[in-house]
């Protein structure tokens, strides 16, 4: 409709800008922030009169859907594409450049596939009452605050704006050198640095904010998983180099433990998802998530077009017909399963902390096994397999983003299918700009170098190298992971019989996360729980404060991304003005004190806004 054109167009412009500027920041950090709250805030601030007038809810909803979509392409590309350059570099071979055209084609295919599968499954995953959708709830509350009359609007100064300011200033203080990024409680490492483990209190507004949106039980499970990873890393750090134990348990064993646990949790989550009953219709909420037959046909066409593009690329790449058809069929099955799982994961824990790497780990494992079965286990075959992984990862990340956005539409009383066009247009902006920026980043810094570590690419490179090229898997860690996953599933089943929710996926998620992230999520959940006491549902101010903590840090990442691309030679390290070797010397204890006060400030913002008297 004509009235929808403006917010969608605005969202596409925002989406393209975010997708491009956050590529390098995401490659450095190994994560990408959920940007939906940031998009709403920008649309609200730039078009305040339009956003707060009649139709303001729909305006902000559609801007959010299209404005955040491009980040799905950013995450999908930067997590997987660098494994080519990393593998060639570690093997001492000439490092190939980034294949921009192949990445554009496969990102486009993945976007079409993810968009189609999510659209077809929308009614089912939005009907599941056990999925809390934390970021969607935050977006709903922000939109409600934007369109509400001033007399009944939540107290934005003490909640949203306070969270924004603290979240923006916290990481900035770290970059300036006035604060540490965390307070280390203990650490252990071998002399050669090959095996290490540490636990700290993180000064991380995004993860503390995510914790402020999750239930305490879910946060505890995520922390439990990250704590298991920490214990495993500590045990690994104590293994002597060259021993038999070191052979059975390599330095990256906890990645394989996480992969085993994720595999079991994935299978169980898909089983549970298959049992979810779709509402028969009739009530208003059911109508909101209904998808008209004509729209469903377009979703099917999108899936078919995505696979047609993928097959066309495979055949033109010089791959054999058997290999091409085998890979296309594998991607079809894995995309169908992993896209649904990506939507579930995002609604379970939020898109910022959703372990996309876990679902792609399983996909990579299957693709490598198919490649081995068809005799394609050379380094040159990685040049074909990697773009396929990019397509699969973009599809999963599309589900990660759109599930939160569609849930926000449902919360706000807008038909979910009205966001379909906004979603695909936002994705197309990312498809164009992200491969180009990745090429520029590689030429400037080199993917996999200390300046651009690409940690997710390192992980997938290790998997492809070990399984596909060397034909070896560390079975001991994998079997331990399978056992942990089975325990998590049994815990989930036992809790559900007692009317509680202890999602097995949350524990598996935690194993994939560094311990500091699990601690950050737990800090946020604890401060909010302390504030709200026996309240059954978080107050609006509490949700707005958590949304602010997520949004401010994402805004700083956006500014740094623009500077990295636009100013030659700029890196976040250029901001350091204080500390040893910097322009201004400060006492050595000061960054630790500022870090501790910063963590306490973030927690207190959640605490005060969670108390019933603050609503």
Position with higher pLDDT, 587 vs 242 = 587
Q: Give DSSP secondary structure letters for 506-533.
A: HHHHHHHS-HHHHHHHHHHHHHHHHHHT
Amino acid 282: pLDDT? 55
Most confident of 79-88, 285-294, 330-339, 500-509: 79-88
Own/partner pairs for 351-354, CB < 8 Å, 24+ apart? 351/34, 351/36, 351/135, 351/400, 351/401, 351/404, 352/31, 352/32, 352/33, 352/34, 352/135, 352/206, 352/207, 352/210, 352/550, 353/207, 353/210, 353/222, 353/509, 353/513, 353/517, 353/521, 354/400, 354/509
Q: Within 13 Å of residue 200, how many CA atoms lie on the same side as its CB?
A: 17
Rounded CA-CA distance 252/512 in Å is: 11
For residue 54, give both structure tokens: 């009649």
pTM score over 0.75: yes
Residue pointed to by tokens 């995450």: 75
Q: By mean pLDDT, which of 54-58, 334-338, 406-410 is the weakest? A: 334-338
For residue 67, give both structure tokens: 């404005």
Amino acid 614: pLDDT? 47
Asked whether the predicted pLDDT for residue 138 surpasses 70, the reply is yes
CB 167 within 8 A of CB 553: yes
Report phi then psi at 16, rounded to 5. Answer: -65, -40
Q: Within 13 Å of residue 493, how many CA atoms lie on the same side as its CB?
A: 10
Q: What is the DSSP letter of 575?
A: G
For residue 460, give both structure tokens: 């997938």
CB 51 within 8 A of CB 43: yes
Q: By mean pLDDT, which of 39-43, 64-68, 185-189 is the weakest? A: 185-189
Rounded CA-CA distance 603/208 in Å is: 8
Asked whether the predicted pLDDT for residue 73 surpasses 90, the reply is yes
Amino acid 262: pLDDT? 78
Residue pointed to by tokens 């993928």: 310
Amino acid 615: pLDDT? 44
Rounded CA-CA distance 316/16 in Å is: 29
Tens digit of pLDDT for each residue in 436-482? Answer: 989 888 887 788 877 677 777 777 787 788 778 887 778 899 899 99
Rounded CA-CA distance 138/543 in Å is: 5
3-state secondary structure of 600: helix
Amino acid 505: pLDDT? 74
CA 196 to chain centre: 25
Q: Which residues does residue 201 pair with via DSSP β-bridges, in sequence order?
A: 183
Q: How far apart are the two ends of the chain, measured CA to CA in Å?
A: 37
């Amino acid at each position: 409709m004509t009235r929808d054109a403006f917010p969608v167009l605005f969202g596409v412009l925002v989406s393209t800008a975010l997708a491009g500027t956050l590529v390098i920041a995401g490659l450095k950090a190994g994560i990408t922030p959920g940007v939906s709250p940031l998009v709403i805030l920008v649309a609200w601030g730039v078009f305040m009169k339009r956003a707060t007038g009649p139709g303001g809810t729909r305006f902000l909803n559609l801007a959010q859907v299209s404005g955040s979509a491009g980040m799905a392409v950013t995450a999908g590309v930067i997590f997987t594409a660098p494994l080519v350059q990393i593998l060639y570099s570690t093997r001492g071979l000439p490092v190939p450049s980034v294949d921009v055209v192949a990445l554009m084609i496969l990102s486009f295919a993945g976007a079409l596939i993810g968009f189609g599968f999510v659209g077809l499954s929308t009614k089912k995953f939005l009907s599941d009452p056990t999925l809390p959708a934390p970021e969607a709830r935050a977006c709903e509350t922000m939109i409600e605050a934007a369109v509400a009359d001033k007399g009944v609007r939540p107290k934005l100064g003490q909640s949203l704006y306070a969270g924004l300011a603290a979240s923006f200033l916290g990481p900035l203080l770290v970059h300036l050198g006035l604060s540490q990024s965390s307070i280390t409680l203990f650490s252990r490492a071998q002399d050669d640095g090959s095996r290490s483990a540490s636990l700290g209190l993180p000064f991380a507004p995004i993860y503390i904010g995510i914790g402020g949106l999750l239930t305490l039980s879910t946060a505890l499970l995520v922390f439990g998983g990250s704590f298991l990873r920490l214990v495993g890393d500590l045990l690994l750090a104590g293994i002597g180099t060259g021993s038999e134990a070191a052979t059975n348990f390599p330095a990256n064993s906890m990645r394989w433990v996480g992969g085993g646990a994720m595999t079991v949790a994935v299978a169980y989550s898909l089983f549970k998802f298959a049992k979810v009953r779709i509402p028969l219709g009739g009530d208003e909420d059911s109508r909101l998530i209904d998808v008209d037959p004509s729209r469903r046909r377009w979703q099917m066409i999108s899936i078919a077009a995505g696979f047609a593009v993928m097959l066309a690329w495979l055949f033109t790449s010089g791959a054999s017909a058997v290999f091409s058809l085998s890979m296309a069929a594998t991607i079809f099955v894995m995309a169908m399963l992993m896209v649904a799982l990506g939507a579930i994961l995002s609604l379970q824990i939020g898109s910022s902390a959703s372990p996309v790497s876990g679902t792609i780990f399983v996909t990579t494992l299957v693709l490598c096994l198919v490649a081995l079965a068809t005799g394609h286990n050379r380094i040159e075959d990685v040049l074909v397999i990697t773009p396929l992984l990019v397509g699969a990862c973009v599809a999963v990340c599309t589900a990660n983003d759109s599930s939160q956005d569609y849930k926000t539409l449902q919360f706000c009383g807008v038909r979910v299918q009205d966001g379909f066009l906004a979603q695909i247009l936002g994705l197309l902006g990312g498809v164009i700009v992200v491969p180009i920026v990745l090429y520029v980043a590689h030429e400037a810094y080199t993917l996999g170098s200390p300046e651009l570590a690409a940690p997710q690419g390192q992980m997938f490179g290790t998997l492809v190298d070990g399984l596909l090229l060397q034909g070896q898997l560390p079975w001991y860690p994998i079997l331990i992971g399978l056992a942990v996953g089975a325990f998590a599933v049994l815990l989930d089943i036992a809790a559900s019989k007692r009317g509680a929710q202890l999602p097995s996926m949350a524990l598996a998620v935690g194993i994939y996360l560094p311990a500091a992230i699990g601690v950050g999520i737990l800090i946020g959940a604890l401060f909010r729980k302390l504030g709200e006491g026996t309240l059954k549902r978080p107050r609006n101010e509490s949700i707005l404060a958590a949304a602010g903590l997520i949004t401010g840090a994402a805004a700083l990442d956006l500014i740094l991304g623009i500077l990295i691309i636009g100013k030659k030679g700029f890196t976040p390290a250029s901001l350091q003005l204080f500390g040893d070797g910097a322009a201004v010397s400060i006492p050595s204890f000061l960054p630790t004190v500022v870090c501790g006060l910063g963590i306490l400030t973030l927690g207190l913002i959640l605490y005060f806004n969670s108390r019933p008297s603050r609503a």
